[in-house]
Structure 1
Amino acid sequence: MRIRAATFNIRNSSAPDGDNAWPVRRDAAVAAIEHLDADVVGLQEVLPDQLEYLRWRFPRYEIVGVGRDDGMSAGEHSVVLVRPGDWKVEKHETRWLSDDPGTPGSVGWDADLPRIATLVWLRHRNGTTVGVANTHYDHAGEVAQLQSSRLIARWIAGALPWIVLGDLNATPDSAPLKALTAAGLRNVVPVEAGGSWHDFTGAEDDDRIDHILVTGGWRVADAAVSHLRPGGRLPSDHWPVVATLELD
Structure 2
Amino acid sequence: MKLRAATFNIRNSSAPDGDNAWPVRRKATVAAIEQLDADVVGLQEVLPDQLEYLRWRFPKYEIVGAGRDDGMSAGEHSVVLVRPGDWRIERHETRWLSDDPGTPGSIGWDADLTRIATLAWLRHRNGTTIGVVNTHYDHAGEVAQLQSSRLIARWIAGSLPWIVMGDLNATPDSPPLKSLVEAGLSPAVPIEAGGSWHNFTGAEDDDRIDHILVTPEWTVTDAAVSHHRPDGRVPSDHWPVVATLELR
Distance of 2:161 and 2:223 partners within structure 1: 18
Distance 1:218 1:142 in 2: 29
CA distance in 2, matches of 1:234, 1:19: 11
Aligned to 2:198: 198
Show structure 1 runs of 4+ deviating over 4 A: none
Unaligned runs of 5+ in 2: none
- 1:116 paired residue number: 116
- Correspondence for 1:209: 209
Q: 1:142 aligns to what?
A: 142
Q: Which amino acid aligns with 1:235?
A: P
Offset from partner CA, 1:81-100 (integer Å, 9 cap, x none): 00000000000000000000
1:156-171 mapped onto 2 (5 Å cutoff):
156-171=156-171
Cα distance in structure 2, aligned partners of 1:22 and 1:120: 27
Query: The residue matched to 2:211 in structure 1 has which SS?
Result: strand
CA offsets per residue over residues 213-234 of structure 1, 9 Å max, x none? 0011100110000000000011
Q: TM-score if structure 2 supplies the norm length? A: 1.00
1:164 & 1:222 partners in 2: Cα distance?
A: 16
Counterpart secondary structure, 2:172: coil
Residue 139 of structure 2 aligns to a residue whose secondary structure is: coil
Aligned mates of 2:76, 2:138 — CA distance in 1:
13
C-alpha separation between the residues in 2 aligned to 1:140 and 1:167?
Answer: 13
Aligned twin of 2:243: 243
TM-score, normalised to structure 1, is: 1.00
- 2:31 is matched with which residue? 31
Distance 1:241 1:144 in 2: 23
Secondary structure at 2:46 match in 1: coil
* SS at structure 2 position matched to 1:90: strand
**1:36 deviation in Å?**
0.2
1:165 alignment partner AA: M
- AA matched with 1:179: S
Matches of 1:180 and 1:220, distance apart in 2 = 17
Matched residues in 1 for 2:40 and 2:188: separation? 16
Q: Matched residues in 1 for 2:7 and 2:234: separation?
A: 16
Structure 1 counterpart of 2:80 = 80
Q: CA deviation at 1:184?
A: 0.4
**Partner Cα separation in structure 2 for residue 112 and residue 144 of structure 1:** 9
Question: What SS does the aligned partner of 2:19 have?
Answer: helix
SS of the residue corresponding to residue 81 of structure 1 reads strand
Equivalent position SS for 1:78: strand
Counterpart of 1:65 in structure 2 is 65
Q: Does 1:14 align with 2:14?
A: yes
> Which amino acid in 2 is paired with 1:129?
T
Residue 157 of structure 1, CA deviation = 0.5
Look up the match of 1:105: 105
CA RMSD of aligned residues (A): 0.3
Could you report, residue by residue, the CA deviation over 1:190-209 in whole angstroms, capped at 9, with x for unpaired residues?
00000000000000000000
Q: Which amino acid aligns with 1:4?
A: R
Q: 1:127 aligns to what?
A: 127
Measure the CA separation in 2 of the matches of 1:217 and 1:114: 32
Tell me which amino acid in the other structure corresponds to 2:124.
Answer: H
Deviation at 1:210, TM superposition (A): 0.1
